[in-house]
């Protein structure tokens, strides 16, 4: 019986670790105090794709093709110090379990920014940004089928600006 | 032979002493019956499935239940916007946040680059003299 309980607990732990993703993090923290959260569903992204002509603002960087290739977005911005540690730890666990590759890391005056992507040579299937400082944590998770060329061009333009 | 009343009036110690002093006759065939009972128990134990074998179906049921929880369609979070234009604007805002954070990193790299230039130029000047 003990063996069975151990086996069952191990199974549950494995499954809960595997189930860790942007959605589960969003669902866990989006209703907390001092947390602003945005979720955009695949259905909404399909609607965005049907908008005939989107004004991109300053016209310098056209985000439209990238945005249209997205299928989900989870954004959590927490200024709740009680949950910041857990949010950061869970996001890092999700990044490790999802085989994400680090794009960049910057540390300055106690602020750490890390960006990660996952996908293949041609497509970026996921992007995660985790920015943590003393009082706040920002977690952005984008899912989609972003052409890697376009994604990298966009990132390069952002860096050049 | 003691009457029932007499027996009831005896203390526990007296009852115990009387029982020990009384002659005990072993019923006929007791040993044989005990051996048979033990043998039957051993046979029954051997026929019973082993604990590990019993665990397999239980583990399978647990795995199936857990897999169902993970794989069955779950209710997702509610969309933050009903209007695709507002949603688009929010995605742009998220990209702006990403850009700002990235710029901070790039600025740091530039600062580090310009700091590295100073010893390089000093070295170049030294070598040219």
pLDDT tens for chain B, 129 residues long, are 678 888 888 888 888 888 888 877 778 888 899 999 999 999 998 887 766 666 677 777 777 777 766 666 567 788 999 999 999 999 989 988 898 888 877 777 777 776 667 777 777 777 776
How many Å apart are CA B41 and CA B39, to the nearest integer? Answer: 5
- Predicted model pTM: 0.64
- pLDDT grade for A30, boundaries at 50, 70 and 90: very high
Please name the residues between 68 and 87 in chain B that touch chain A, using a CB distance below 8 Å.
69-70, 76-81, 84-85, 87
The reported pLDDT for the residue numbered B23 is 77
Cβ atoms within 10 Å, residue B114: 9
User: Quick one: which of A155, A158, A108 has its CA closest to B112?
Assistant: A108
Inter-axis angle of helices A81-97 and A2-18, nearest 10: 90
The reported pLDDT for the residue numbered B59 is 75
What is the sign of the dihedral through the CA atoms of A56, A60, A62 and A63?
A: negative
In B, minimum Cα distance to A131 occurs at B101
**CB distance A131 to A151 below 8 Å:** no
- pLDDT grade for A74, boundaries at 50, 70 and 90: very high
The reported pLDDT for the residue numbered A25 is 93
In A, minimum Cα distance to B82 occurs at A44
Q: Residue A17 pLDDT > 90, yes or no?
A: no
Structure tokens at A153: 């061009």
The reported pLDDT for the residue numbered B6 is 83
Between the CA of residue B35 and those of B26, B40, B41, B101, what are the distances in Å? 15, 9, 10, 83
**CB distance A91 to A139 below 8 Å:** yes
Across the interface, which of A19, A47, A73 has its CB nearest the CB of B91? A73
Question: Cβ of A44 and B79 within 8 Å?
Answer: yes
Structure tokens at A48: 């965005």
- pLDDT grade for A80, boundaries at 50, 70 and 90: very high
Structure tokens at B88: 């688009």
Q: Using an 8 Å CB-CB cutoff, list chain A residues near B76.
A: 23, 41
User: What is the percent of chain A with per-residue pLDDT over 70, rounded to a whole number?
Assistant: 80
Question: Cβ of B104 and A113 within 8 Å?
Answer: yes
pLDDT tens digits along A131-149: 999 899 999 999 999 998 8
Between the CA of residue A108 and those of A28, A114, A133, B105, what are the distances in Å? 29, 12, 9, 8
Question: Cβ of A44 and B102 within 8 Å?
Answer: no
How many Å apart are CA B54 and CA B56, to the nearest integer? Answer: 6
For chain B, the residue count is 129
DSSP conformational letter for A69: T
**Phi, psi at A45, each rounded to 5°:** -65, -35
């Amino acid at each position: 019986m003990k063996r069975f309980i151990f086996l069952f607990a191990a199974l549950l732990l494995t499954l809960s670790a595997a189930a860790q993703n942007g959605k589960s993090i969003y669902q866990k923290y989006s209703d907390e105090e001092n947390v602003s959260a945005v979720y955009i569903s695949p259905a909404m992204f399909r609607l965005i794709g049907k908008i005939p002509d989107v004004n991109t603002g300053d016209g310098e960087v056209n985000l439209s093709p990238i945005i249209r290739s997205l299928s989900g977005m989870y954004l959590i911005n927490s200024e709740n110090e009680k949950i910041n540690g857990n949010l950061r730890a869970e996001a890092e666990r999700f990044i490790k379990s999802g085989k994400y590759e680090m794009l960049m890391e910057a540390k300055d005056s106690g602020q750490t920014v890390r960006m990660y992507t996952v996908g293949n040579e041609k497509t970026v299937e996921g992007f995660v940004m985790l920015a943590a400082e003393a009082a706040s944590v920002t977690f952005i998770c984008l899912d989609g089928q972003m052409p890697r060329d376009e994604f990298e061009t966009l990132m390069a333009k952002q860096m050049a600006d | 032979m003691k009457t029932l009343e007499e027996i009831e009036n005896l203390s526990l110690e007296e009852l115990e002493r009387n029982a020990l002093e009384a002659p005990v006759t072993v019923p006929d065939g007791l040993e044989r019956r005990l051996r048979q009972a033990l043998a039957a128990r051993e046979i029954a134990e051997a026929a019973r499935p082993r604990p590990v074998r019993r665990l397999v179906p239980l583990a399978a049921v647990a795995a199936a239940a857990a897999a169902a929880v993970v794989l069955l369609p779950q209710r997702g979070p509610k969309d933050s916007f009903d209007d695709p234009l507002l949603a688009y604007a929010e995605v742009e805002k998220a990209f702006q946040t990403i850009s700002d954070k990235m710029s901070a990193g790039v600025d740091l790299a530039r600062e580090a680059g310009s700091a590295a230039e100073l010893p390089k130029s000093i070295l170049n000047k030294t070598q040219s003299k």
